[in-house]
Structures are given as structure tokens and as C-alpha cells.
Structure 1
Amino acid sequence: MPKDSKKKKYSQKYKKEWEAEKAFKEWLTSVPGQNSLAFCKCCKSELKAHKKDLESHANTQKHLKKMAELGSVAQTTQITQFVRQTIDDRRKIAELKVAAFIAEHCSVATVDHLGELIKSLDGKSETLKELKLHRTKCMSLIVNVISPCLLQDLMDDVGDSYY
């Protein structure tokens, strides 16, 4: 019997600590259910979970090119492109006042027309020009902003006079 057939073959298993190493941390992850494989997020390919194989993959032209492409995308995309500008405080106050008026005196269905009417009252006022209040937003302001504040005020008043 040849000597080689008695030798047990060692199969390297994926090590989670490799993901923290500088050379691998941006692109390496495990393959669920396959502890002998690793996955390159950059190239979208499975690799053997051998450290030498991973190191050699990191130096391939394909991988280096993909990493460079991803690096340039990450540098050009700024978070400010995804963030909306905040609403002016005067506009917020005006919208809350109109919503409070609607909650106390009218049907929410009338706010679509009332909002347009208020905008046309003064063409010079920036706050009124920017006013954007329709049924959905008005109802949301009443339910999520005005009601909790009024409830808290009521609880404070009742709590003080209860004893």
C-alpha cells in the first residue's frame, strides 16, 4: 500500500479573523454553509479558504481593477447627495398652525384647498410661498405632533390637580 493513501488530507477552514486583516477587510467574507470557501465581495467569486490563495487573489489584475473602481465610486459619492435639505422653521410653524386650525375647526379634506389659498394670499412672503400642506401631511402632523403634545399637557394638568 502506498504511503500517500494513508496520509490524511487537511482541509483549511475559513477563519473569521481574516476579515479584520488589512489586506482582506474590505472584500472578504464567508460563504454560508461552506466553511472551506471564502467569498470576494468585490469580484463576486468564491475562493478556497486558504490564506495563500486569498493573498494571491488579492494581487490578481481582475481584483485590483475592481477594487480601484469601487474606491473611486466611494470617493465621489458624498452623503450630502442623499440628504434632504431641512425645512425652514417659519414654514414648520406655519404648517403646524394650519394643521392645528384644521384639527379644531374643519375637516381634513379642506386642507388641500386651504393650503393653496394661503399660498396665494401674499406673493411676497417666502414662508407662505413655500407652504406645502395637504391631507396626508396634515393628518400626520395632527396624529404624530399635535396630539402627543396636547395629551402631555392634559396629563400634566390632570396629574397636578388629581391630588
Structure 2
Amino acid sequence: MYLPLKKKTNAQKYRPEWENMDEFKGWLKLTSGNSSKAFCTYCSTEILAKLFDIKKHAETKKHKQKVEFKTGNKEIPFKVVPKDHLFRPCGDSEGALTLFIAEHCSIYVLTI
């Protein structure tokens, strides 16, 4: 009778120093409760804690799109307003803030 040999695999553990590597910085974290898996914060995906698998995940189309979206957001510059204009009843700064909120924030329907 022939018994097949079981393939021996080494369980790779997550290494915290991977988080400091330039290619993984900002998105790679340890999965809570499981040291054999890593977590991509951009894709909300668990990955086996093997360096090859993590690099392979970083090359996927889904991950690249998420990275581009997260890093593509830039700060919106505000115009500096002198202090004496800040305390006017309806100054330029109040109008600028109102227009910013109207343009960039969701509008919620309020029911009374």
C-alpha cells in the first residue's frame, strides 16, 4: 500500500519590520488575533504573512487603484484672511467656509 508523503510547510509569522519597508509603509498591519496573516488597510483584505504574497498583493490592480485614490487626495488650500475680517458679522471668511461646505460635503435631507 502506497501512502503519499505530506508536504511540509513552514508557517510564516508576521514581522513588524515589514511595516517600515518603503513599499509596505502606511497600509500593512498585523491581523488581530492571527500572527500568520497580514492586513491591507487600503483594500480591507487579509493576506498570508509571506513576503511573496504581500508583494504579490501590492502588484494587484485593486490595490494599485486604492493606493492611487488614497494618496491622490490633496489638501485644499484656504485663503489666509486677516484677523480684523474674522469678526465681521458676515465676512469673507464666513462666506468662503459656507461655499466650501456646500461644494465638498454631502447634503443630508432633514425631516422635521
Evaluate the alpha carbon distance shift between residue 48 and residue 87 of structure 1 in structure 2; reply closer, same or farther with a 3 A threshold: same
Equivalent position SS for 1:56: helix
Q: How does 1:1-163 map to 2 (within 5 A)?
A: 2=3, 4-5=5-6, 8-73=8-73, 76-78=74-76
Which residue does 1:139 correspond to in 2?
none
Deviation at 1:32, TM superposition (A): 1.2
Deviation at 1:77, TM superposition (A): 2.3
In 2: Cα distance, 1:57 partner to 1:18 partner: 14
Deviation at 1:86, TM superposition (A): 8.6
Which structure's CA Rg is the greater one? 1
Aligned residues: 86
Deviation at 1:2, TM superposition (A): 4.9
Which TM-score applies when normalising by structure 2? 0.63
Q: What is the CA deviation profile of residues 102-160 of structure 1, one whole-angstrom value per residue up to 9, with x for unaligned ones?
A: xxxxxxxxxxxxxxxxxxxxxxxx89855xxxxxxxxxxxxxxxxxxxxxxxxxxxxxx
- More helix, by proportion: 1
Evaluate the alpha carbon distance shift between residue 128 and residue 63 of structure 1 in structure 2; reply closer, same or farther with a 3 A threshold: closer
In 1: Cα distance, 2:63 partner to 2:22 partner: 15
Evaluate the alpha carbon distance shift between residue 53 and residue 77 of structure 1 in structure 2; reply closer, same or farther with a 3 A threshold: same
Deviation at 1:30, TM superposition (A): 0.6
Deviation at 1:16, TM superposition (A): 0.2
Evaluate the alpha carbon distance shift between residue 86 and residue 128 of structure 1 in structure 2; reply closer, same or farther with a 3 A threshold: closer
Q: What is the CA deviation profile of residues 63-110 of structure 1, one whole-angstrom value per residue up to 9, with x for unaligned ones?
A: 00110111111xx224x66xxx7965xxxxxxxxxxxxxxxxxxxxxx
Mind listing any 5+ residue stretches in structure 2 that lack a counterpart? 90-112
Which TM-score applies when normalising by structure 1? 0.45
Question: What amino acid maps onto 1:36 in structure 2?
Answer: S
Give the percent of matched residue pairs that are identical in Structure 1 and Structure 2: 33
